[in-house]
Structure 1
Amino acid sequence: MKNLETFFSFTGNNQTDRDTTAMTFPPRPRLRPLLLAAGLCLPAGMAPAEPQHGIAMYGEPALSADFTALPYANPDATTGGRIVTAEVGSFDSLNPYVLKGSVPWQLRFLIGESLMVRSLDEPFTEYAQLAQSVETGPNREWVEYVLNPEARFSDGTPVTAEDVIWSFETLGTQGNGRYRGFWEKVEKIEETAPGTVRLTFNTADRELVMLAGLRPILKKAQWDGVDFAQSGLDMVPITTGPYVIDDFEAGRFVSLKRNPDYWGADLPTENGLHNLDEVRIEFFADETAAFEAFKTGEVNSNREFNVARWDSQYDFPAVQSGAVVKSVLPQQLPSGMTGFVMNTRHDQFSDWRVRDAMLHVFNFEFINEAMTGSAQPRITSYWSNSPLAMDPGPATGRVAEMLAPFAADLIPGTLDGYSLPVGDGTERNRTGTRAALKQMEAAGWTVQDGVMKNAAGQPFTFNILLQSGGSENQSIVDMFVESLARIGVRATVEVTDPAQYKARTDQLDFDMTYSRLALSLSPGNEQYLYFGSAMADTPGTRNLMGVKSPAVDALIGQLLTVTAQEDFVASVKALDRVLTAGRYYIPIYQWNVSRLAHAKQLKYPDVIPVFGDSPGWQPDVWWWEE
């Protein structure tokens, strides 16, 4: 059981059927064909300059203005019941909109709302939520929202244009770093008519109108005389969402109750959603305690990431009796990047040949057999398992054209083709060891008296930072450290509590650490936060590896401005090549399927959306049925 925040960053996984060992079964999922989703496959065109019920990055929204429910929701779902999930770690804040503090990651998705809402069936489409309509300029140089006059905060007060403008300005200047890059591209924000807010942009970037619709809207009056950037447990943001925080105990649990006076209950985007009366998050010190809580019924839904554990440890009495159901759910999303990231700001990993040596030393085939019985495939690139993944072999066509201006500076393998090294499957992995020694020597490091040293006699050492409670990661690292010792490299492992771990990674104070970077079918401005040069040295950045690449920056800019689907796909494939060949991560296995064990009363719809088991699906579309 991993910390789910490292799994969800707004994406998920993939695969096919339902586990036939379950005693009772929810309906079999019908998987929608992947069009690269409805928005991606339609021809590009200018958005009409008139109010609309929704907006797509390319073409038109799949749902017409008179739709009554999202296609994966169950309008007949009953209300009531509760879902209780487990998290490993702790928390010291309930404000998910600022950088400071450790916050339950689910809060951002459960308590907050924005002007528009995403559909999990269309990666590049949004529909009206707090807004009742959206309108853009012919070149998407501005976007204008007419607020829904019924929109209310949880305290019953109306959502005003003043609240919207304040939220954009405050989040953009004092909020979490995820909001700031967008704000820098806003020329002005104004109320153009009562209840109507317009944003005008200073940058050619087609995705800005999509990002604007997803900014959280907060209540301005709550923060009068308060330092918004501070965090803690004494200030719970007042928002408009269907759930409100009802009770909590610091570091132990958070309980959210469905708001009986929720203003948006009759919206088509809410029909069949948010049916559970309580969403409760329990916190545990480690994975073992969390799993035991599930076995005893203290927790009633558990997401399992290890197929070997799924096959061997889910035979406890509640499963045997049918009280707990095992569900295997398909997804159609990129693998993202999960593994151990190397900090290129530090001398040990500034040379790509050293990073390549680490990939050869990491004995994936042996580790995968030990951890999963070789049941889970390896991540092969950042967008592997999707139509956006780089193609094998040399770059061709539009991808080659996009990379050509940077050819002189690209790491070997980017243009002519790169794939992860494959070990011989044995514990000693002599093939990988020989390749690693060769690359280390090319970078100026040789084994002297059994120790890897440079010409000055300095040993090659580094630190691996891990968060406490992650027994699976600890086991993987232990095997990696043994392999490193075979080439004379000494790696020390440092395990810290969640608060220290967050502080250390926010300050980029590590040599190597575990990281989960979830990517989607709709990559956009967030790629600057993940990979952009400007964010490489910013505290709290997701660019943990510290990549500073003109090619990466240019390709991100290109995917934001192209107007044709084929150019968008080519730019992502080219970006995937540059990042993968950069050897910044040591990837482990991917999750192309979601495995959830849950109380039999917890049900979900027959239709599984393209985004599958992502934020917005559980608990949103689930319901309780006795």
Structure 2
Amino acid sequence: MSPIWKHGFHVLALVFSAILAPAVHAAPQQGIAMYGDPALPSGFTHLPYANPSAPRGGQIRFGESGSFDSLNPWILNGRPAQGIALYVAESLMARSIDEPFTLYGLLAESIETDEARSWVEFTLRPGARFSDGNPVTVEDVIWSYETLGTQGHPRYQTAWRKVAKIEQTGPRSLRITFTEPDRELALLMGMRPVLEKAQWQGRDFSTGTQTVPIGSGPYTVSRIDMGRFIELKRNPDWWGKDLPVNVGRYNIDTMRWDYFGDGGVVFEAFKGGEIDTFRETNAAKWARDYDFPAVRDGRVVKEDIPHHRPSGITGLVMNTRLPVFQDWRVREAMTLAFNFEFISRTLTGGAEPRITSYFANSDLAMRPGPAEGRVAALLDPFRAELPPGTIEGYALPVSDGTPLNRANNRKAIRLLEDAGWQVDGAGILRNGAGVPLTFEIVLPQGASETRAIVDIYTEALRRLGIVPRVTMVDDAQFQMRKNSYDFGMTWMVLSLSLSPGNEQMLYWGSRGVTEPGSRNLMGMDSPAAEAMIRAMLEAESSEDFTAAVQALDRILTAGRYVIPIWYAPISRIAHIRELHFPERLPLYGDWPGFQPEVWWYEAEQQQ
């Protein structure tokens, strides 16, 4: 076992053994963990995966496919530019990606809560400043939270509904009181962006997409060509550069994101030296397409970055708001028709494992076979409403890998017949009213690998008498159609962490059936899923928490909402040799907080 993997398992062991440690006391603390105590002691000098000796300077250029039309990443309208949310604004607390869910003080010097976490109180650092020199005040924090909770993106509104009140308790302190038991809320309230109230006076925050925001973070927006590129410069007067949580981070002077037509063009731009780093998601391409001159002569370096995070879910999601997908038998037939083994071998050489559930690759994943113990007890009250396999055990169908996939297609036809669909004399699948089984698959332009997957899949569906329409739309339209759930099937990519919580209600909660902008693309309305999420949020031990997540995983997977593809247990990053990162990798590996946060630019010394 490599030292990196040993470290990951050691951290997990420490975290879950800490469950039995005392809960956070009602006294000011430097940090807070979802369970137990933060791993880093009071007085730590830097995050363990940051290099405090990293040089500062240089630049990093990223490539993005599509475009952007907004500079406000905190609202539903528009597609926001990269960089602003993570590097221009700051929150009260900062997350360590070396622990499942732990926060350390950033704008706040301390956090305080009671044993039940029915309230949380933050005290601001006296030196916190926005980039225009104005101090960060309690008034800014309260305005930010109220505005985001009422006018911001739905991801902020979900938790805000559980806030009873927010009030100033001292010159630099504020308290937030909650309406219901939810142990995660104290942490979530530490992760909201804090914006400058004065900048937004007289402006409509909910539609303000063209205002360059003023933040307190390490970078400011230096140049923009709307839709084409955005550039950020490190603020030399950044108030927080010497905080332990920031030492060794944000080392690069200039960060720039250039936008291109599609992923293939981004890769060509990387090969041509127009951008400095590229994440490869296809294992076959990683092995095949990186023999260009810059790799051969060492100007470009390839890195495999291991991680210990769940697989998440990537694949084709079915919209159950449409009658055609409301029957689980139809969704199972659609999954049977998806010849994963053939598609995977054709497009990736079969190099990556399949996503078997939403939390695969982690201890949070559902276990094979029937539900047992606490998981079974959680699911049992909902037995009558759950799809087959939820409690008894469910596994994705496996094909023989041949192009025709005959055995699974026969099973699919039987299920479709049971659901009332028959093939007519012209070879078209119709219901009893004569309506054909058809739907629209909406995809973003430039997603070449996704289109290749869908092309193979639709050919298989035609053999069943199903002829879907495939529509490619530009980036802005794709986002709009997802936000309004205007599709039959679409492509879904959802990363999941080792500490799922309130965001799960945004992903799977019933509000998302009708409210726009949720991540509930499938339109599921499951009291059982919401009950599992509540059990996660109220759990006081890792055993109860894990059981609730495993039960939720069963509901999601056996619901047959998404036809999953593969996942990578490593991240593959190619970059110019002047870019470097610490040898000590965090638990989450390549995750927000890794590149470019702990990277640095350093050219080779001339002899």
TM-score by shorter chain over 0.5: yes
Question: Take 1:413 and 1:197, find their aligned partners in 2: how far apart are those partners?
Answer: 48
- Once the two structures are TM-superposed, the CA of residue 31 in structure 1 deviates from its matched residue by 4.3
Question: Take 2:204 and 2:503, find their aligned partners in 1: how far apart are those partners?
Answer: 26
Are residues 1:133 and 2:85 paired? Answer: no
Question: What secondary structure does 1:156 align onto?
Answer: coil
Q: What's 1:442 paired with?
A: 418
Q: What's 1:531 paired with?
A: 508
How big is each residue's C-alpha offset from its partner over 1:61-119, in whole Å with a ceiling of 9 and x where there is no partner?
A: 10011100000000000001111111100000111111111112442112221000110
- Once the two structures are TM-superposed, the CA of residue 536 in structure 1 deviates from its matched residue by 2.3
Q: What's 1:373 paired with?
A: 349
How big is each residue's C-alpha offset from its partner over 1:373-411, in whole Å with a ceiling of 9 and x where there is no partner?
A: 000111000000001000000000110011111111110
What is the letter of the counterpart of residue 367 of structure 1?
I
What is the letter of the counterpart of residue 278 of structure 1?
T
Pick closer, same or farther for the CA change 1:101–1:34 going to 2, 3 Å: farther
Q: What's 1:68 paired with?
A: 45
Indicate which of 467, 486, 490 corresponds to 1:513: 490
How big is each residue's C-alpha offset from its partner over 1:330-353, in whole Å with a ceiling of 9 and x where there is no partner?
A: 010000000000000001101000
CA contact (8 A) 2:336 2:411 kept: yes
Are residues 1:622 and 2:599 paired? Answer: yes
- Once the two structures are TM-superposed, the CA of residue 137 in structure 1 deviates from its matched residue by 1.8
- Once the two structures are TM-superposed, the CA of residue 479 in structure 1 deviates from its matched residue by 0.2
- Once the two structures are TM-superposed, the CA of residue 286 in structure 1 deviates from its matched residue by 1.4
Q: TM-score, normalised by structure 1?
A: 0.94
Question: Take 1:31 and 1:508, find their aligned partners in 2: how far apart are those partners?
Answer: 42
Question: Take 2:509 and 2:82, find their aligned partners in 1: how far apart are those partners?
Answer: 24
How big is each residue's C-alpha offset from its partner over 1:256-308, in whole Å with a ceiling of 9 and x where there is no partner?
A: 11111110000000010000011110100012221111011110100000011
Question: Take 2:420 and 2:172, find their aligned partners in 1: how far apart are those partners?
Answer: 65
What is the letter of the counterpart of residue 57 of structure 1?
M
Question: Take 2:260 and 2:183, find their aligned partners in 1: how far apart are those partners?
Answer: 43
Tell me how many residue pairs correspond in the alignment: 601
Q: What's 2:136 paired with?
A: 159
Q: What's 1:430 paired with?
A: 406
Indicate which of 302, 311, 336 corresponds to 1:335: 311
Are residues 1:320 and 2:287 paired? Answer: no
How much is the aligned-residue C-alpha RMSD, in angstroms?
1.3
Pick closer, same or farther for the CA change 1:166–1:587 going to 2, 3 Å: same
Are residues 1:147 and 2:124 paired? Answer: yes
- Once the two structures are TM-superposed, the CA of residue 46 in structure 1 deviates from its matched residue by 3.1
% same residue: 54
**Structure 1: runs of 5+ lacking an equivalent:** 1-15, 18-26
Q: What's 1:263 paired with?
A: 239
**Structure 2: runs of 5+ lacking an equivalent:** none
Q: What's 1:401 paired with?
A: 377
Question: Take 1:113 and 1:323, find their aligned partners in 2: how far apart are those partners?
Answer: 35
Question: Take 1:459 and 1:99, find their aligned partners in 2: how far apart are those partners?
Answer: 35
Question: Take 1:457 and 1:544, find their aligned partners in 2: how far apart are those partners?
Answer: 28
Question: Take 2:373 and 2:389, find their aligned partners in 1: how far apart are those partners?
Answer: 17
Question: Take 1:176 and 1:350, find their aligned partners in 2: how far apart are those partners?
Answer: 28
Pick closer, same or farther for the CA change 1:369–1:379 going to 2, 3 Å: same
Indicate which of 432, 452, 455 corresponds to 1:475: 452
Are residues 1:540 and 2:517 paired? Answer: yes
Question: Take 1:76 and 1:354, find their aligned partners in 2: how far apart are those partners?
Answer: 57
How big is each residue's C-alpha offset from its partner over 1:456-493, in whole Å with a ceiling of 9 and x where there is no partner?
A: 22111111000001000000000000000000001110
Q: What's 1:488 paired with?
A: 465
- Once the two structures are TM-superposed, the CA of residue 39 in structure 1 deviates from its matched residue by 4.0
What is the letter of the counterpart of residue 458 of structure 1?
V
Question: What secondary structure does 1:515 align onto?
Answer: strand
Question: Take 1:92 and 1:43, find their aligned partners in 2: how far apart are those partners?
Answer: 44
CA contact (8 A) 1:29 1:329 kept: no
Question: What secondary structure does 1:69 align onto?
Answer: coil
Question: Take 1:222 and 1:39, find their aligned partners in 2: how far apart are those partners?
Answer: 41
Pick closer, same or farther for the CA change 1:190–1:180 going to 2, 3 Å: same
Question: Take 2:5 and 2:563, find their aligned partners in 1: how far apart are those partners?
Answer: 33
Q: What's 2:432 paired with?
A: 455
Indicate which of 162, 180, 185 corresponds to 1:203: 180
Pick closer, same or farther for the CA change 1:434–1:34 going to 2, 3 Å: farther
- Once the two structures are TM-superposed, the CA of residue 538 in structure 1 deviates from its matched residue by 0.9
CA contact (8 A) 1:39 1:125 kept: no
Question: What secondary structure does 1:94 align onto?
Answer: coil
Pick closer, same or farther for the CA change 1:256–1:105 going to 2, 3 Å: closer
What is the letter of the counterpart of residue 623 of structure 1?
W
Question: Take 1:208 and 1:255, find their aligned partners in 2: how far apart are those partners?
Answer: 34
Question: What secondary structure does 2:140 align onto?
Answer: helix
Q: What's 1:283 paired with?
A: 259
CA contact (8 A) 1:342 1:545 kept: yes
Question: Take 2:13 and 2:5, find their aligned partners in 1: how far apart are those partners?
Answer: 18
What is the letter of the counterpart of residue 567 of structure 2?
Q
Are residues 1:50 and 2:27 paired? Answer: yes
Q: What's 2:330 paired with?
A: 354
- Is the deviation greater in 99-108 or in 173-182? 99-108
Structure with bigger RCO (C-alpha 8 Å, 6+ apart) = 1
Question: What secondary structure does 2:193 align onto?
Answer: coil
How big is each residue's C-alpha offset from its partner over 1:112-153, in whole Å with a ceiling of 9 and x where there is no partner?
A: 210001100112210000000111023111111110001011
